[in-house]
Chain A
Amino acid sequence: MPVPFPTAAPDCGVPTLHARGLTKIYRSGEVEVQALRGVDLDLAPGEMVVLLGPSGSGKSTLLNILGGLDTASAGEAWFRGSPLTRLDDRALTRFRRDHVGFVFQFYNLIPSLTATENVALVTEIAARPMSPESALDLVGLGERLHHFPAQLSGGEQQRVAIARAIAKRPDILLCDEPTGALDSHTGVLVLEAIERIHAELGTTTVLITHNAIIADMANRVLVMGDGRITEERRNTERRAARELSW
């Protein structure tokens, strides 16, 4: 099946991601949970957006649908004008492989691979990747290339995860609570890495967090509650990651 995504540079007028009326209902036995209730969203190329909100507000569900991990119960989402919500599993896998970088709260590194190898895992299957070493350099881990996850600290592991996510030069970087398992100092190091990548590669970045302070580094902040976007604001002045602390 042909892959329905343009690989050429995007037209700046077209949003990278674009969603209308996204709804998600989880059914577990007799219980029905409405996780998203008609979300509209546009992500411009090169934009950094922070999604804030309490647990259960629908942040992760939205991120999962935008990243091609989950499908919506209703509504539509488009990646550069191509519909995401009608894709089958195979096409979604292709979408993630070519265009999306994920960073998770618990790093999710492969314990049997070194830092370089964890990154190479992605560069081997990507279309136009950077070298694993360059990616690790970008996150400040040029010295820890051949360490296994069990030999790295939490912050270092998360930075390897970021290097792994961006080594393919993704069009979108999706980070779900990337600092959730880290202390403030280490968390800032991780945010600096994300900030640097955003600046140098111009990747559209979405960052989920509970931590309102992190919102200061975004272009735009979306606050979610009960499955809807309840507030949207633009930061007229962005703060650098190194200025943050909590």
Chain B
Amino acid sequence: MVRALRPLDRKLVRDLWRLRAQVLAIALVMASGVALLCMSLTSIEALSETATAYYDRYRFAHAFAHVERAPEHLADRIRLLPGVQSVSTRVVRSAVLDVPGFDEPVIGQLVSLPARGEPALNRLALRSGRLPRPEAPREVVLAEPFAEAHGLAPGDRLRAIMNSHWQELTVVGLALSPEYVYTIGPGALMPDDHRYGVLWLGEAAMQAAWDLDGAFNDVAVSILHGADVQAIIAGMDELLGSYGGIGAYARADQISNWFLMNEIEQLKSLASILPTVFLAVAAFLTNMVLARLIAVERSEIGLLKAFGYRDRDIAWHYVKLVLGIGLVGIGLGWAMGYWLGLVNTRIYADFYRFPFLLYAPGPVPFLTAALASLLAALLGALGTVRKVTALPPAEAMRPPAPPLFRRTALGRFRAFRSLDQPTRVLLRQIGRWPVRSFVTSLGIGMAVAVVVSSMMWLDAIDRIVDTYFLQAQGQDVTVGFTEPRGGTVTGELARLDGVVTAEPMRVVPAKIRFGPREERENLQGLPAEQELHHVFDAAGRSLHLPPGGLTISTMLAQLLGARIGDVLTVQVLEGRRPVLEVPVVGTFETYIGSPAYIDIRALNRLMKEQASVSAVHLRLDASRRAGVFRELKETPKVSFITLKDAAVRTFHDTMARTLLIYISFFVAFACILAFGVTYNAARIALSERGRELATLRVLGFTRAEISYILLGEIALLTVVALPLGCALGYGLARLFVGAFTTELFRIPLVIEASTFGLSIVIGVVATALSAFLVRRRVDRLDLIAVLKTRE
């Protein structure tokens, strides 16, 4: 094939082959950028397309509302709202479940299915078995993840407390639903398929159990294309207000969809930051290699010019060299990116439950990645190529003047004068080309930075767990009720055998307004001095709740644009639905959510109610937990039971399944980065200084001694790179933390010393590996050839 090419192209092919190890090292760095970009873009595409297709195919509703009890005919009135396409009413209730072989309490979300046919909206994707028969009220379809967690299959049985009565249910099918792509229990941060699941039963059975004959307590609507969702929501609120509606909300605020869309947003941030780092480093590497390659090829360039090759022919020749390297990188990056995208999307599909997965990435992500990386490489090569064309032929054919070293201030130091000659060579080399040396350090530093900013997540997660769960939550269990209970319930639970302390909590759903801004947020009433569930500042302080008003999270303050002293309008969405004017008396920083707290007695007063409780926090005697769980399973009107240690475990497990996989990708890429930079720096130094090193060998220096000069320089630059990398890593982490902040999570910028330490070790190991490979080349230096040729 080579024969059919023009001579200059043959040179190109042979140059690429001769430099194959370096070409591969640069290509790998470029490939990392391309792969990351492809992975993020294909995952975004796959997730978005899968979600859209799933939502369309299974008719995921556009707006939702929950009420206490509304007559069935109200559905017709909702249907008449302008823009509404179809309406689906149902009964949705929580129930304590008893799953055979699982001691801890389990909460089920029970959702009714119409007596005939499939529901108009939020249809089930049946995975096995069948739907319940209308005449069989004890038949149930389970959400597949919940069934998998407990090993339940059609034919198995479980029990549920339906309105204070234990009912035995028979599993007839397993299903997924677009409404529960992400199944998260009340008060939980992560899905816990062991302790929270969705169950679908026949409408008649649900209505009978909760005395809702001819009525519904939950409604979902789909709207016509182009219709105004907010107007429909306002219309629904008006219709449902008098039936105990707590406010309709759009699909965007539906919890499962909200999490999924948040994830896609985070992926988009990922797609913009990390690949940029890799592509920038690749551009720098291309520049470094090309600049030095051309320095070596000066005489050949002069010769070509003397033969009459035009500047642009020669420039194009070197541009093609860059393109050649780029194409190898892109090819590798595409392959890695496709595979990583698939792995990544599968992780998501496991976490967010879809009945199918559309992973058929179109050409756009791949072309985008290719174009971005080629541009980066060409940009990196630009300066060098311009320098080539500027060389007059005669000058180009003369060997470059020997580098001029001068005595510097360095030599005046006694410490420098006491150094041996190889060390002086090493130091002067760095001093002679400070920019080049710094840029090499910067490259290695970038690799360390990527590791620091990736591992930072683990520290951040630990900090969140520590503050949110371990320090703030002194309770072992939280028991929530389906409706507010009298204050005596706290005492009743406290008296259970095995309960050490009980603390009440009142939660009131509300819309909080300040000026033109409105947020939906629960008011959480806690004792002014909390014993179990603390209002905990991110700075590590436990807060006292003043009786005169609301203590709100800085996130909520920011969303509302409110400060301490401002009076907020709180429209309660429960009971008599009073509209209250409450001042902000304090703010605090929190990592999760945007909560608003108030002294429970003040809240009861504002609600004009006797001591009233929505949930109770309990601390248990560890040896008698099982007994308490047994009692709690029998407690009526319980809507949720949260176990703190299970929540912590789930949080960690989920993070391990998702975040750790990411981190390992990034650490691998960072190793490639460190390797690519050091390998190229050392190889180029070797080709430039082979003659010098061979001379030293002839003079009687051992291989180890001359390796010291070459690799000592790399080692010294690495030493500079490490603190630089840590500082850059901190900056990069800051960038990530900023980009990943959502209403739900604020990632604390915490980097432990051990993270810096491990990043440094990884950087050093990657550098040492490339040094080892170059060292083997030092061993093969041709001592004779080098002595007979002029520089």
Contacts and interface: CB of A to CB of B under 8 A. Distances in A.
B783 A124 contact: no
Contacts of B787: 104-106, 108, 176
B109 to A, nearest CB: 74
Given A113-B428, A117-B421, A148 B405 contact: yes
A70 B785 CA distance: 11
Given A64-B784, A105-B788, A150-B401, A110 B695 contact: yes
A111 B700 contact: no
B699 A112 contact: no
Nearest to A147: B407
B637 interface: no
Interface residues of A, number: 39
Given A106-B791, A108-B691, A122 B428 contact: no
Contact of A93 (B406, B425, B697): B697
Q: Is the interface of B mostly helix, strand, loop or mixed?
A: helix
Which of A60, A100, A113, A118 has the most chain B CB within a 10 Å cutoff? A113
A94 B790 CA distance: 27
A83 to B, nearest CB: 19
Interface string A63-83: 010010110000000000000
Contact of B421 (A60, A70, A124): A124
A120 interface: yes
B701 interface: yes
B425 A110 contact: yes
B702 A90 contact: yes
A96 B700 CA distance: 5
B407 to A, nearest CB: 7
B428 A112 contact: yes
A106 B788 CA distance: 8
A126 B703 CA distance: 16
Given A117-B424, A148-B404, A112 B698 contact: no
Contacts of A148: 404-407
B784 A69 contact: yes
B420 A124 contact: yes
A97 B700 contact: yes
A98 interface: yes
Contact of B700 (A64, A70, A100): A100
Nearest to B790: A106
A112 B701 contact: no
A201 interface: no
B696 interface: yes
A113 B783 contact: no
B308 interface: no
Contacts of A104: 695, 787
Contacts of B428: 112-113
A94 B705 CA distance: 12
Interface string B672-705: 0000000000000000000110011111111101
A102 B428 CA distance: 25
A98 B701 CA distance: 10
A3 interface: no
Contacts of B698: 67, 69, 96, 102, 108
Given A120-B421, A121-B421, A124-B421, A111 B405 contact: yes
B424 A122 contact: no
Identify which of B402, B403, B699 gathers the most chain A CB atoms within 10 Å of its CB.
Answer: B699
A176 B698 CA distance: 13
A102 B699 contact: yes
Contacts of A106: 787, 789-791
A64 B695 CA distance: 13
B462 to A, nearest CB: 48
B429 interface: yes
B432 interface: yes
A90 B701 CA distance: 10
B422 interface: yes
A220 interface: no
A45 interface: no
B407 A146 contact: yes
A18 interface: no
With most chain B CB atoms within 10 A of its CB, the pick from A90, A100, A117, A146 is A117
A110 B422 CA distance: 10
A164 interface: yes
B421 A113 contact: yes
Contact of A125 (B407, B692, B700, B790): B700
A149 interface: yes
Nearest to A98: B700
Interface string A33-75: 0000000000000000000000000001000100101100000
A64 B701 CA distance: 16
Nearest to A64: B784
A114 B410 CA distance: 14
A122 B700 CA distance: 8
A68 to B, nearest CB: 9
Interface in B387-437: 401-407, 420-422, 424-425, 428-429, 432
A153 to B, nearest CB: 13
A67 B422 CA distance: 23
A70 B698 CA distance: 10
Contacts of B701: 93, 97, 125
A112 B700 contact: no
A132 B282 CA distance: 46
A90 B787 CA distance: 20
Given A111-B403, A146-B407, A150-B401, A96 B699 contact: yes
B695 A108 contact: yes
Contact of B699 (A64, A111, A121): A121
Nearest to A125: B700
A94 B699 CA distance: 10
A150 B699 contact: no
A47 to B, nearest CB: 22
Interface string B489-504: 0000000000000000
Given A70-B784, A96-B699, A164-B699, A150 B424 contact: no
Contacts of A64: 784
Contacts of B692: 108, 110-111
Interface in B556-595: none
A121 B423 CA distance: 10
A83 B486 CA distance: 104
Contacts of B700: 93-94, 96-98, 100, 122, 125-126
Contacts of A97: 699-701
Nearest to B694: A108
19 contacts: A60-B788, A69-B698, A69-B783, A90-B702, A93-B703, A96-B699, A97-B700, A104-B787, A108-B691, A108-B692, A110-B421, A110-B695, A111-B402, A111-B405, A111-B692, A112-B405, A113-B425, A150-B402, A150-B404
Given A93-B701, A112-B428, A151-B404, 17 more contacts: A70-B783, A93-B697, A96-B698, A97-B700, A106-B790, A106-B791, A108-B698, A108-B787, A110-B425, A110-B696, A112-B405, A113-B421, A113-B425, A120-B421, A121-B696, A124-B421, A125-B705
